[in-house]
Structure 1
Amino acid sequence: MARVVRIAELEIDPRHADSYRALLSEEIEASVRLEPGVLFLFAMSVKGSPHCIRVVEGYADQAAYEAHLLTPHFLTYKTQTADMVLSLRLIETDPILLKAKDGRYSG
């Protein structure tokens, strides 16, 4: 089973940074709680640039990623944040080793 890991680089309109962060937090919480194929979602901002967001996304496989894109919580997030996002770049990766201290993300 090939894990899917992507890095999303987003630039958010600074006027909407707080609202965006709240909506992103809701979406991540729902995705991790409700979707078995979502292995991890880590969101952070670039130090000193709170409107520059990076999200590291891990899915069990391509089908899990595609299912995630169709969930009600993800579609709501995309709709509600569409006017806040100035740019979005998705970086495809080839995972070398996925490991976490608790072992849940080994892959």
Structure 2
Amino acid sequence: MIDAEEKIVQMADLEIDPAQIAAYIALLAEEIEASVDKEPGVLMLHAVSVKGSPAKIRILEVYAGRAAYEAHLKTPHFLKYKLATANMVKSLDLVALDPIAMCSK
């Protein structure tokens, strides 16, 4: 069991170029699937868009700890995503979060 205090929990708030949203979503879905499948330290990645504003993307990220997060940033699949989407992302803000109650089925 991983202690909640060790986890890295953050929300990525992104604004995507509306003309490239379909391509961005395809790359994001590929990256999320690879990260969750291949990295034991990636506990959860959930991506959503703001209702009525598909270019406003929010990603809830949960990592087992600082080492898992830093390792994630160096993986081939993450680096591919960052490079391929660099001209699609108009803004990115990472918000550090404190977990309160997190549960899923």
TM range (shorter): over 0.9
Deviation (angstroms), 1:94: 1.4
SS of match in other structure, 1:95? coil
Q: Deviations over 1:40-64 (max 9, x none)?
A: 0000000000010000000011110
Runs of 4+ in 1 over 3 A off after TM superposition: none
Deviation (angstroms), 1:99: 2.0
Matches within 5 A, 1:52-71: 52-71=56-75
Matches within 5 A, 1:1-107: 1=3, 2-101=6-105
Give the whole-Å Cα distance in 1 for the aligned partners of 2:101 and 2:54: 29
Deviation (angstroms), 1:100: 1.8
TM-score by length of structure 2 reads: 0.93
Q: Where does the alignment leave 5 or more consecutive residues of structure 2 unmatched?
A: none
TM-score by length of structure 1 reads: 0.92
User: Identity across aligned pairs (percent)?
Assistant: 60
Root-mean-square deviation (CA, aligned residues, Å) is: 0.8
Give the whole-Å Cα distance in 2 for the aligned partners of 1:65 and 1:41: 12
Give the whole-Å Cα distance in 2 for the aligned partners of 1:16 and 1:78: 15
Q: Deviations over 1:47-104 (max 9, x none)?
A: 0000100000000111100000000000000000000000000000111222223xxx
Give the whole-Å Cα distance in 1 for the aligned partners of 2:66 and 2:103: 19
